[in-house]
Structure 1
Amino acid sequence: MSDHPEDGPPNESSSNASEKKKRGNDGMQRRDLLLGGSSLAAMTALAATAPATAQVQQAAPAPAAAPASTGPKLGEILPFPQPPRPVITEPDWRKVPQPKPVSIRPPKGAPNILVILQDQTSYADPSTFGGPINFPTMDRLAKEGLTYTNFHVNSLCSPSRTALLTGRNQHQNSQAAVVDGATSYPGDTGMRPKSVAPIAEILRQWGYCTSMFGKSHETPPWETSMSGPFDRWPARQGFEKFYGFIGGEKNLFRPYLVDGTTELGVPRDPNYHFNVDITDKAIGWIRGTRSLTPDRPFFMYYATGGAHPPHTPPKEWLDVYKGKFDQGWDKLRGEILARQIKMGLMPPGTKIAENPPEIPKWDALSDDAKKVLSRQMEVYAGYAEHTDREIGRLIDAIGDLGELDNTIVIYIAGDNGGTAIGGLNGTFNEWSNLNDAPEDIPYLKTRMVEYGGPNSYPNYSVAWAMAGSTPATWCINACQGGGQNQGMVIRWPGGIKSKGEIRRQYTHLIDVGPTILEAVGIPEPKIVNGVEQIPMAGTSMIYSFDDAAAKDRHTVQYNECSGNRSIYKDGWMACVMHRAPWESSPRVDDYAKDKWELYNVAVDFRQATDLAAQNPAKLKELQDLFHQEAIKFGVYPMDDRSFARLNATNAGRPDIMAGRTEVTYYAGMTGMAENVFIDTLSRSYVVTADLVIPKGGANGVVVSQGGLFGGWSLYVKDGRPKLAYNWLAREKYFIEGKEALPEGKVTLVYDFTYDGGGLHKGGTGVLSINGRKVGEGRINKTQGAVWSLAGETADIGMDAYSPVCDDYDPWENAFTGTINTVKIKHKA
């Protein structure tokens, strides 16, 4: 192994390797077969080995014996080589024995695998970890399996998910931050290298049925258009079945769905909810594969959108927790800790870490603020429980098929801690905060009746996220406490004797991949699809399954996000808060000036007592270790920019709209996320539509961008052109043409002149038909920074996602004339 940083660390310790040999991998040692020119002989020998080996049916008569070899073990090079095609000289089929087809299967008895990831749930939200939210499914799995109280994640969504799916650290996956903010630095490109094969691809090549249902936030935004490439879509990452959405979040009532690489559009069902839909689809897939191919185990990654914003459960879940959070976040933290101690999750005497000073005390809030803020947590809690209960439906369906006891269930209750995007007040429309236009308490009070329903896109106060981190504090984007602690449960009766027990070993997302490979009984591949692989950085957790006192094997782990960073080693952690999650700029302009903190997390899990001043030698040791790990895994340079990274030009990443000031679109081009559509934010532009109006006139949407929570739409109503501009679901502006569009060829123009001078400024819009002005109006405020990333779409000939305005039907709004072209051009 070379010493280059991109090679990563050794996959595991020698003690862990020997543990593998003890757990049913004896057959692996007998199949050191050279998978090259002698592949036919190798496969023949393989078919005769112990039951723990892969199952392969021979395609043709084989030599008497396979030659011994010191080459790679079976499965270390994927795909498996095909046996050579025999030369047949006999013309009569009656005289030639019928060959058996080759069929690759995993070792006999290999378990099914179900990996469940809740989204943006805090460590102590679930009842399983002492929290106030009922998680009956997780509770059940914990009683029947193991609860890991010292499990860790990365500080943001995309980095955590790629680590989970590959067994490598975030920068090895080139995911330093969310993929929407990728740069051109090697550890931050947003493009997973081919030297990092996902677990799904490995299992697929071993014969597993593989699927993913839910959220995928790992595809670079410039690769999400109809032009592709599709290499980094889930369907090309080892998942033979993908159903869900590409991006960070979606409207749960009106998501723009993807099946494989096919965009499905929006479900036309007023009772639709995403959590229910993906569960139905997941159950259907499992039933179908068990019916058709019961000899092939399944690997499913169920990546639910809950409890990520928007916090919008089905309406029957909106009031389940009514009044349950009126005591506020300070008392709630005390209640959680008391339960944690009673449940044996935390030792007696544990104290709660102090919140940062920016978080107000509940008793200091106004009555209006308390009403607004408690409602936010009520809705979030209903949403989180509903998500867990949908997971329960999936678990029950597997049980009904008789497959549950041979299924490894790994349930992770959150990918990066609770969200901070809501800020201190929370939001009715999350995109307000992402556009630097926060909502105050008086405004939020006016929207309380709608909060959590289909006309809202809400997010709770960051203070609730920190309460969910009890006994620690912090949240998403923080590299300590609530930014990396998450609850995890594993159930596997076929491989775990213990039930209802707690495991306290240090574990991490990157340990999931090695655990799966060891449980299945297959090696980590060294070459996949012709590319030499970076060794996995994680350590299998199987050593801890039946030994609560087993010594930790994952002893070193770094974490980094936006300059926030930490390093863990043997029970100690050093960390830096370089930029708080709700801050748009770092606290210091030089990383060397950062204030480091030091915690003995072996006895101070809550990270409440900073020992940096008392133990400078240990702090220096860990600082030096972070530097070494950062170089090894490609962390440098660290990028502490915030909203600036959402601009592709600023970030330096690829952009299919880079340098383009004019684009021509055609009818039927729908579902375009803003990263693949010409920029219309904080600028002047002209929309020119070349139309053909039939006899009797036309109606419907010509072009739209965004939707219910911010966007604009050029459409025709009652034969006359109109422009609607929706500013963050708070203010709407309309410009209406005074004349109807004539029959025949028509040039419809919308000319917008921006006032300039910063974000959210206004402008003047002019409508014209065939060169003649027919309407003019003011738009006092415009959206300045972002529409919704991948949450909303731009569409030609309809408003295909959520509607920008209620001037037309949410679903039946397609333009009834003919659209030849729609050109959008920037004005100087």
Structure 2
Amino acid sequence: MNPDRHARTMLPIPDLPAPGLTTYDAKNPDTAFPPIEPLVPPEGAPNVLIVLIDDVGFGASSAFGGPCEMPAAERLAANGLKYNRFHTTALCAPTRQAMLTGRNHHSVGMGSITETATSAPGNSSLRPNTKAPLATTLKLNGYSTAQFGKCHEVPVWQSSPMGPFDAWPSAGGGFETFYGFIGGENNQWEPALYNGTTPVEPPATAEEGYHLTEDLADHAISWVRTQKALMPDKPFFMYFAPGATHAPHHVPTEWADKYAGRFAGGWDAQRENTFARQKELGVIPADAELTPRHDEIPGWDDMPDELKPVLERQMEVYAGFLEHTDFHVGRVLDAIEDLGALDNTLVYYIIGDNGASAEGTVNGAFNEMANFNGMAALETPEFMVSKMSELGTPSSYNHYAVGWAWAMNSPLQWTKQVASHWGGTRNGTIVHWPNGVEEKGGLRTQFTHCIDVAPTILEAAGLPEPTMVNGVQQSPMEGTSMLYSFNEPDTPERHDLQYFEMFGNRGIYYKGWSAVTKHRTPWVMTGGALAAFDDDVWELYDGSVDFSQARDLSAEQPERLHELQRLWLIEAVKYNVLPIDDRGAERLNPDLAGRPTLIHGTLQMLYAGMGRLSENSVVSIKNKSFSVTAEIEVPEGGADGVIIAQGGRFGGWSVFLSGGAAKFVYNVLGIQSFATEARSQVPAGTHQVRMEFAYDGGGLAKGGDVALYYDGEEVGTGRVGATQAMIFSADETTDIGYESGTSVSPDYTAHSSRFTGKIHWVKIDTGDDDHEHLIDPDERLRVAMARQ
């Protein structure tokens, strides 16, 4: 059966046995059946590689005039096409879900991030089954499919080891292979990894030279070599999405050192240097203007002199991180080229899933968890100076300052999260396909958007959009194929209408014009009331002569502005943007937001071997009294190891046995550590070990008294001076009987943490002590938004 006889609009393609003679004896000479034909796409369908880098502004990459060297990107661009008006959604999870489905982010339920999902269709974080992902379509048409890296599209209540796995890449996402992490960010040195849906540990330690990006590239190379060795005639679809260069900015020191002294002039000067280089390269028009720095962004000259060396180092580390990432992308490209497959591989190299991130505060951060917990004051200039040499290393969890994010978006206004202005949504993109693109080193200026990627790939492969997938009728893709622009540089743009919205920041593009309004500043998460939506101030720009949105024409052309505002509202209704939602506490409380939650009540039972439990999967013990009771079995000679641990090196707590005695350690941001140890060892046999923490109360992040018990008898007391109010970690988890990732206490490592006795059960109980009302709603929102 030749599947090309079918229109391929119904997936899976129905199996239709051919009628014919059926003989009684297979030896009968009239016995004949058509040969079994493997399912393959139409002849000539290319391999596909999408590379999506994280948190990179338009003006960061050397390919688009920036200071961060990206030779692999430059090499692709020299033999392919640059798109200088390609757009994302201003945030990671929405961009990814939109790109992978060919639909607008609210259409697929990803109006913001999964952590702030509501029951509204546009913000539920649930992709409707009427909008199947591209990977599913390609797989059901005969492609081999694989994803390596970041997946932040799993609803938070489905992200535990029990799933359900419908939204995970290798279960419901259409990828036959997945190796990477679930969530918004990860420690590059000690990540929480999954192989498919199975938690796995990194193959080496940071001390042994491990880095996540290199590991992802190794897996991608191994997979593509195996695919071409075993299925040389079958095309592949690979999605390579490293967590780089999202914070924490982790990179081997030698890569950061390559940029020593390069940023001594500060971010104002760097922005001007980039602007000049962009014009020299021709990636922006000769008449483009450099937009001014807004008052909310501090000038370089206004920063404390003693902090400037630290600020320089932050940018050196980031630049090294981006070049390091590009190097490993280059390794993947080299592997495909060595296989003789690069000429017929359609490569999308999308340099950023949104604009550069301004979530690192005006001073940057050594441990961004300090800011997330409202404790940024701990990171004084003196502290930052003392930690400067550690930036980027395994002992840091660092992010650069707001000013660098602004500079990396040159020449555009604003940053990540600001969907109204191009600084949040315009990302340099490269397309490389020697068999399909005639011009080498060309520039394309048509307006394009991440929802255009999926329809482009389908058209390049000669495949129709499916009308039915797994028995469910499909809605049409909302993007526009970019294939027309590959070899027709002067053809008018076909994607000429596009709305934008993120946390109330919103805009509309229509036939060259854009009307925009900024509702919220990314790094200002607390204090002050937001304006009513109808009171937001709108701006108007003519993109045909104003590349960077530098000249606001709203006062000169109010009627055109009003027309575009109405058009935004029409598009918002069409794609489930309404109601616009800038709420704080309501969106972070699952009951009020209307999303499911795994945790109910004040008590939770856990069992040996459970692990990789996100904070959404464990009852919260923050800002309250709580107890941990474990029934354990200790062999003759005693036991050691972790009973339960939550968080890691950059904040968390652990109950464990050390030298046979119970110990409780509370680690505040890796800056302060408080330990309580029992006076005696746990005897051999079955016993209950209990830790009680009596919270002081009276506000957030207070301390408390600690008591340890064996079978109800007090064996130790201690004191915790302070606690973390909001979050322990964006990537570290809770484990029973061991600790994955980094360790809360230096008394053990992840490799030596496994409990040497037997754990029957562990119970966390907060009783009726609930101080959750003490947490300011704005604080909750700030933490959630900063984690994507």
Query: Same fold by TM (over 0.5)?
Result: yes
CA-to-aligned-CA distance 1:777-800 (integer Å, 9 cap, x gap): 2212111112224x0110000111
Greater mean alpha carbon deviation, residues 778-787 or residues 106-115: 778-787
Is 1:746 paired with 2:687? yes
Using the alignment, how far apart are the partners of 2:701 and 2:554 within structure 1? 44
* Equivalent position amino acid for 2:458 in 1: L
Task: Name the TM-score, length of structure 1 as normaliser.
Answer: 0.90
1:95-134 matched pairs, under 5 angstroms: 95=28, 96-134=31-69
Shift of 1:226: 2.4
2:83–2:444 Cα contact (<8 Å) kept: yes
**SS across alignment from 1:234:** coil
Greater mean alpha carbon deviation, residues 265-274 or residues 595-604: 265-274
2:307–2:384 Cα contact (<8 Å) kept: no
- Give the structure 2 partner of residue 368 of structure 1: 306
Is 1:802 paired with 2:738? no
Shift of 1:761: 1.7
1:213–1:303 Cα contact (<8 Å) kept: yes
- Give the structure 2 partner of residue 68 of structure 1: none
2:708–2:715 Cα contact (<8 Å) kept: yes
Greater mean alpha carbon deviation, residues 76-85 or residues 136-145: 76-85
Is 1:253 paired with 2:189? yes
Shift of 1:157: 0.7
- Give the structure 2 partner of residue 296 of structure 1: 234
Shift of 1:652: 2.9
**SS across alignment from 2:725:** coil
Is 1:337 paired with 2:275? yes
- Give the structure 1 partner of residue 259 of structure 2: 321
Using the alignment, how far apart are the partners of 1:774 and 1:226 within structure 2? 35
- Give the structure 2 partner of residue 244 of structure 1: 180
- Give the structure 2 partner of residue 201 of structure 1: 136
1:110–1:520 Cα contact (<8 Å) kept: yes
- Give the structure 2 partner of residue 92 of structure 1: 25
Shift of 1:463: 1.1
Unaligned residue ranges in structure 2 (runs of 5+): 769-788
- Give the structure 1 partner of residue 708 of structure 2: 767
Is 1:392 paired with 2:330? yes
- Give the structure 2 partner of residue 419 of structure 1: 357
Shift of 1:184: 1.3
1:268–1:811 Cα contact (<8 Å) kept: no
* Equivalent position amino acid for 1:524 in 2: E
- Give the structure 1 partner of residue 340 of structure 2: 402
**SS across alignment from 2:608:** coil
Is 1:652 paired with 2:594? yes
Q: Are the structure 2 counterparts of residues 327 and 650 from structure 1 closer, same or farther at C-alpha, using a change threshold of 3 Å? A: farther
1:188-587 matched pairs, under 5 angstroms: 188-236=123-171, 237-269=173-205, 270=207, 271-438=209-376, 439-479=379-419, 480-584=421-525
* Equivalent position amino acid for 1:261 in 2: T
- Seq. identity, %: 46
Using the alignment, how far apart are the partners of 2:406 and 2:549 within structure 1? 13
Shift of 1:644: 6.1
Aligned residues: 759
Unaligned residue ranges in structure 1 (runs of 5+): 1-42, 48-53, 57-72
Shift of 1:649: 3.7
Shift of 1:315: 3.0
- Give the structure 1 partner of residue 121 of structure 2: 186
Shift of 1:481: 2.3
CA-to-aligned-CA distance 1:669-704 (integer Å, 9 cap, x gap): 011111111212222211110011111111111000
1:628-647 matched pairs, under 5 angstroms: 628-642=570-584, 645-647=587-589
1:380–1:460 Cα contact (<8 Å) kept: yes
Greater mean alpha carbon deviation, residues 119-128 or residues 804-813: 804-813
CA-to-aligned-CA distance 1:266-307 (integer Å, 9 cap, x gap): 434332100100101100000001011111100000001111
- Give the structure 1 partner of residue 775 of structure 2: none
1:55–1:108 Cα contact (<8 Å) kept: no
Aligned equivalent of 1:81, options 2, 6, 14: 14
Using the alignment, how far apart are the partners of 1:245 and 1:643 within structure 2? 27
Using the alignment, how far apart are the partners of 1:651 and 1:280 within structure 2? 41
Using the alignment, how far apart are the partners of 1:352 and 1:234 within structure 2? 40
CA-to-aligned-CA distance 1:106-158 (integer Å, 9 cap, x gap): 11111100010001111110011100111101101111000000110001110
Shift of 1:809: 2.4
Using the alignment, how far apart are the partners of 2:127 and 2:699 within structure 1? 36
Using the alignment, how far apart are the partners of 1:232 and 1:757 within structure 2? 41
Using the alignment, how far apart are the partners of 1:92 and 1:802 within structure 2? 66
2:285–2:547 Cα contact (<8 Å) kept: no
* Equivalent position amino acid for 1:763 in 2: G
- Give the structure 2 partner of residue 819 of structure 1: 759
Shift of 1:440: 3.2
CA-to-aligned-CA distance 1:604-650 (integer Å, 9 cap, x gap): 22112222122111110111011000000000112213576444345
Using the alignment, how far apart are the partners of 2:67 and 2:583 within structure 1? 35
Greater mean alpha carbon deviation, residues 85-94 or residues 296-305: 85-94
1:75–1:523 Cα contact (<8 Å) kept: yes
Shift of 1:589: 4.4
Using the alignment, how far apart are the partners of 1:588 and 1:694 within structure 2? 60
CA-to-aligned-CA distance 1:359-398 (integer Å, 9 cap, x gap): 1111222221211111100000000000001000110111
* Equivalent position amino acid for 2:546 in 1: D
* Equivalent position amino acid for 2:641 in 1: G
1:422–1:430 Cα contact (<8 Å) kept: yes
Shift of 1:259: 0.8
Shift of 1:349: 4.0
Using the alignment, how far apart are the partners of 1:728 and 1:647 within structure 2? 25
1:588–1:594 Cα contact (<8 Å) kept: no
**SS across alignment from 2:146:** strand
* Equivalent position amino acid for 1:326 in 2: A
- Give the structure 1 partner of residue 539 of structure 2: 597
Is 1:727 paired with 2:662? no
* Equivalent position amino acid for 2:725 in 1: G
- Give the structure 2 partner of residue 61 of structure 1: none
- Give the structure 1 partner of residue 780 of structure 2: none
Aligned-pair Cα RMSD in Å: 1.5
**SS across alignment from 1:739:** strand
Using the alignment, how far apart are the partners of 1:604 and 1:243 within structure 2? 42
Using the alignment, how far apart are the partners of 2:212 and 2:592 within structure 1? 34
CA-to-aligned-CA distance 1:395-422 (integer Å, 9 cap, x gap): 0111001000000111000001111221
1:710-725 matched pairs, under 5 angstroms: 710-725=651-666
Is 1:618 paired with 2:565? no
* Equivalent position amino acid for 1:663 in 2: Q
Greater mean alpha carbon deviation, residues 439-448 or residues 521-530: 439-448
Using the alignment, how far apart are the partners of 2:418 and 2:380 within structure 1? 25
Shift of 1:86: 5.9
Is 1:145 paired with 2:85? no
Task: Name the TM-score, length of structure 2 as normaliser.
Answer: 0.94
2:742–2:749 Cα contact (<8 Å) kept: no
Shift of 1:808: 1.1
* Equivalent position amino acid for 1:280 in 2: D
Greater mean alpha carbon deviation, residues 422-431 or residues 86-95: 86-95
1:266–1:800 Cα contact (<8 Å) kept: no
**SS across alignment from 2:630:** strand
